[in-house]
Amino acid sequence: MDILVPAEDVVPMGQVLSTLAAPWHTTMSVRNFWRQLKHDYLHHLVQPWLDQLVWVIQTQVVLNYMAWATFLEDVYHIGHPKKLTPFQTGLKKEWAHLSSLELSGRSYRMDISRWQCSCKALKYNSFHLCKHLIKSIPPPPATLPTPCSSPISRWL
Ligand SMILES: [Zn+2]
């Protein structure tokens, strides 16, 4: 069964592709992926052919991404804590760094429930952290209870 589309709704494929491929429509993650692809896998090629690019993606890029994805699986090293993502590692490192800093003594307007502070550092921090907010809340526990140690999980 054919689906009839009004002529005014038909968009030429070239226009669709140019719209999708326009640099102002690509997201930062796509740009970052393409930059990493060129740097890590295509550094020896100036203008790779399309079939060569597809072959590199199939034989190298996908395999490496699949290998990295196994670290993020829930079944990787069962019984061990899950490996932190790069974002979590960075957040933890930034939290520890800001916790070690001394406060200047100035007073800032803070709202812990909304996680807002009037200092300038908060808006420029990539993790939306500042030392005033971190110092105003109790420190997180050094170790969190594991699911196996809870009495409920023993019954399951
Ligand atoms: Zn602050």
Task: Locate the domains of the chain by residue range.
Answer: 17-72, 86-95+109-136
CA of 116 from ligand 1 middle (Å) equals: 8
* Distance of alpha carbon 133 from alpha carbon 77, whole angstroms: 35
Note the pLDDT tens digit of each residue in 80-93.
777 788 899 999 99
Note the pLDDT tens digit of each residue in 78-124.
777 777 888 999 999 999 999 999 998 899 999 999 999 999 999 99
Which pTM does this prediction carry?
0.49
Contact between 127 and 90 (Cβ < 8 Å): yes
Mind giving me the DSSP string for 14-45?
A: HHHHHHHH-TTTS-HHHHHHHHHHHHHTSTT-
CA of 124 from ligand 1 middle (Å) equals: 11
Mean pLDDT of 128-153: 76
* Distance of alpha carbon 74 from alpha carbon 71, whole angstroms: 8
CA of 142 from ligand 1 middle (Å) equals: 24
CA of 113 from ligand 1 middle (Å) equals: 14
Is pLDDT of 155 > 50? no
